[in-house]
């Protein structure tokens, strides 16, 4: 079917344009997708891509708008102004952005975008998953968008390398996996980051923690106490790491190491390092462990690891023990004790000859505090525990919990009911906080005070 026939046949829905039917309530049907795809193909035949590269984004958008409108006029398409604007916008997004994803990326309430197939896209809003009306034309369309995303950061995805971690220009983290590993077609998940990084006041406002807990965490960041942030997937570990890093002095040199750069540090003296996967010949891989070793030669005051998941745990602990105080990292674990066990296992993988007691001594002397983050069943994220590591007793790492969140029930809407409270234990790190001029009142550790 020609473009003229497509445009004419697509206008015979309820006596008006198919675009109107297709876009009602944000729904894109197959007819609209085919119409948009055919116009896009005609544009690609007519446009001089080399000439476009010399224009600014705004100029390109104006040129595309003029071309689409001219094409619609040539084909005598019966579309009203709203429909034309919708079609022009979608074509612009296809040419300049990430196609159907642009609408979701422009929505500040969306925290995660989960593309399960070309015809099924979920988002997370306020901790809840929702099915959207966004669809792609077919698997090839989705694969083209994925390739556009990963190629911008020098990564690739194909049958020989069907998994990839990447990032969007705003720092949002992207993971994609394609056939033959993904049975039902290409899949992609995008972990969004707000344009304006969250501050501690925002977390307090969201009731993720109390002002008293925030005061302690702020002191830990300023007093150069090594911190490990523990939590499950999507619990807010990276957000908390960003917030705590905000208390680092602007006079310090910071080196960050990540698989896909996503930290949003505000300090002026920051060096960002990112791992590199192997090339098509299986060579050229640069691991987090190699970057940690290299970072030690870069005269850092603090080293921040986006996530510890392998042998780099040993080098991180050694860095924390050799003058790089105040370093931070995140780790996947359900409890603070599990986080210490995972650290021990990862160090053992890197240095199998080290005895268990020596590994635990490394951990107990390097890590000062474990901050446990959790996403509750109602979708809300909270600081579940602030745990201090106090040393060793025999072969066991000793700890003491300073603050905790206790869940007491759920209301009729499914929201979690609970409260924050101190355990009544005065932490040993108070002496270090005072040495840095940070005064902490003893009332903060009163166990009789509960915060809902």
Q: What is the mean pLDDT of the chain?
A: 84
Least confident of 138-147, 161-170, 379-388, 431-440: 161-170
Name which of 179, 188, 84 is nearest 136 in CA terms. 188
pLDDT at 76 over 60: yes
Q: Which tokens belong to 200?
A: 């501690």
pLDDT at 274 over 80: yes
The SS3 assignment for 390 reads strand
Q: What is the pLDDT at residue 11? A: 41
Q: What is the pLDDT at residue 266? A: 81
**How confident is the model over 429-450, as pLDDT tens digits?**
999 999 999 999 988 999 988 8
The CA distance from 126 to 116, in Å, is 20
How many whole angstroms from its chain centre is CA 387?
Answer: 25
The CA distance from 202 to 198, in Å, is 6
**Which pLDDT band, with edges at 50, 70 and 90, does 29 fall under?**
low
- The stretch 38-53 carries a mean pLDDT of 68
- The stretch 6-14 carries a mean pLDDT of 42
The model's pTM: 0.77
**How confident is the model over 296-311, as pLDDT tens digits?**
899 999 999 988 988 8
Write down the number of H helices and E strands in the chain. 16, 16
pLDDT at 98 over 80: yes
The CA distance from 92 to 40, in Å, is 10
pLDDT at 20 over 50: no
The CA distance from 321 to 426, in Å, is 24
Q: What is the DSSP string of 236-264?
A: SHHHHHHHHHTTS-TTS-EEEEESS----
Least confident of 73-87, 321-335, 360-374: 73-87
Greater pLDDT, 256 or 86: 256
The CA distance from 243 to 255, in Å, is 16
**Which pLDDT band, with edges at 50, 70 and 90, does 36 fall under?**
confident
**Which pLDDT band, with edges at 50, 70 and 90, does 51 fall under?**
low
Q: What is the pLDDT at residue 97? A: 81
- Distances from the Cα of 430 to the Cαs of 220, 388, 401, in angstroms? 9, 11, 14
**Which pLDDT band, with edges at 50, 70 and 90, does 127 fall under?**
confident
Least confident of 24-33, 222-231, 410-419: 24-33
Q: How many CA atoms lie within 13 A of 335 on its CB side?
A: 5
Dihedral, 138, 140, 141, 146 alpha carbons, nearest 10: 130
Least confident of 79-93, 142-156, 241-255, 347-361: 79-93
- Distances from the Cα of 359 to the Cαs of 5, 304, 331, 387, in angstroms? 72, 21, 17, 19
Name which of 419, 437, 440, 413 is nearest 428 in CA terms. 440
**Which pLDDT band, with edges at 50, 70 and 90, does 77 fall under?**
low
- The stretch 217-234 carries a mean pLDDT of 93
Q: What is the pLDDT at residue 196? A: 72
- The stretch 301-329 carries a mean pLDDT of 90
How many whole angstroms from its chain centre is CA 446?
Answer: 36
The CA distance from 16 to 37, in Å, is 20
- The stretch 217-232 carries a mean pLDDT of 94
Q: What is the pLDDT at residue 68? A: 76
Q: What is the pLDDT at residue 16? A: 39
φ/ψ of residue 31, rounded to 5: -60, -40
**Which pLDDT band, with edges at 50, 70 and 90, does 390 fall under?**
very high
Q: Which domains are present in the chain? A: 3-96 (no CATH), 102-191 (3.30.450.370), 200-451 (3.40.50.300)
Q: What is the pLDDT at residue 397? A: 95
pLDDT at 423 over 80: yes
**Which pLDDT band, with edges at 50, 70 and 90, does 58 fall under?**
confident
- Ranked by mean pLDDT, the top range of 93-107, 183-197, 215-229 is 215-229
The CA distance from 184 to 158, in Å, is 16
The CA distance from 28 to 134, in Å, is 7
Q: What is the pLDDT at residue 449? A: 87
- DSSP-based helix, strand, coil % in the chain, nearest 5: 35, 25, 40
Least confident of 261-275, 365-379, 389-403: 261-275
Q: Is the separation of the CB atoms in 414 and 271 below 8 Å?
A: no
- Distances from the Cα of 436 to the Cαs of 88, 224, 388, 429, 432, in angstroms? 58, 9, 18, 11, 6
**Which pLDDT band, with edges at 50, 70 and 90, does 3 fall under?**
very low
């Amino acid at each position: 079917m020609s473009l003229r026939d497509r445009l004419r046949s697509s206008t015979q829905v309820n006596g008006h344009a198919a675009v109107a039917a297709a876009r009602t309530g944000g729904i894109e049907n197959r007819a609209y997708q085919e119409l948009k795809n055919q116009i896009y193909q005609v544009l690609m035949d007519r446009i001089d891509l080399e000439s476009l590269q010399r224009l600014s984004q705004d100029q390109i958008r104006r040129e595309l708008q003029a071309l689409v409108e001219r094409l619609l006029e040539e084909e005598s398409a019966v579309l009203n102004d709203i429909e034309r604007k919708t079609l022009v916008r979608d074509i612009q997004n296809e040419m300049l952005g990430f196609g159907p994803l642009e609408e979701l990326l422009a929505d500040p309430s969306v925290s995660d975008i989960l593309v399960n197939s070309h015809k099924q896209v979920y988002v997370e809003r306020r901790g809840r998953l929702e099915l959207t009306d966004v669809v792609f034309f077919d698997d090839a369309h989705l694969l083209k968008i994925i390739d556009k995303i990963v190629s911008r950061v020098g990564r690739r995805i194909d049958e020989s390398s069907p998994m990839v971690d990447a990032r969007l220009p705003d720092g949002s983290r992207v993971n994609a996996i394609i056939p033959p590993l993904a049975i039902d077609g290409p899949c992609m998940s995008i972990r969004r980051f707000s344009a304006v990084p969250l501050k501690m006041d925002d977390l307090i406002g969201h009731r993720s923690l109390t002002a008293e807990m925030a005061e302690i965490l702020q002191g830990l960041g300023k007093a150069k106490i090594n911190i490990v942030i523990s939590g499950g997937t999507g619990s807010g570990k990276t957000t908390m790491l960003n917030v705590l890093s905000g208390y680092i002095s602007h006079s310090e040199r910071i080196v960050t190491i990540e698989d896909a750069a996503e930290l949003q540090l505000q300090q002026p003296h920051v060096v960002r390092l990112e791992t590199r996967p192997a090339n098509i010949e299986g060579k050229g891989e640069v691991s987090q462990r190699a970057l940690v070793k290299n970072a030690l030669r870069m005269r850092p005051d603090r080293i921040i690891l986006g996530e510890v998941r392998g042998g780099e745990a040993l080098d991180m602990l050694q860095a924390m023990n050799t003058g790089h105080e105040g370093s931070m990292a995140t780790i996947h674990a359900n409890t603070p004790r599990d986080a210490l066990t995972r650290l021990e296992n990862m160090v053992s993988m890197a240095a199998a000859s080290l005895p268990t007691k020596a590994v635990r001594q490394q951990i107990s002397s390097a890590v000062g505090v474990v901050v446990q983050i959790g996403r509750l069943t109602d979708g809300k994220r909270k600081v579940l525990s602030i745990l201090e590591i106090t040393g060793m007793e025999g072969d066991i790492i000793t700890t003491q919990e300073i603050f905790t969140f206790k869940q007491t029930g759920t209301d009729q809407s499914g929201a979690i009911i609970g409260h924050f409270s101190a355990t009544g234990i005065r932490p040993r790190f108070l002496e270090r906080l005072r040495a840095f001029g940070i005064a902490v009142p003893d009332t903060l550790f009163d166990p009789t005070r509960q915060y809902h």
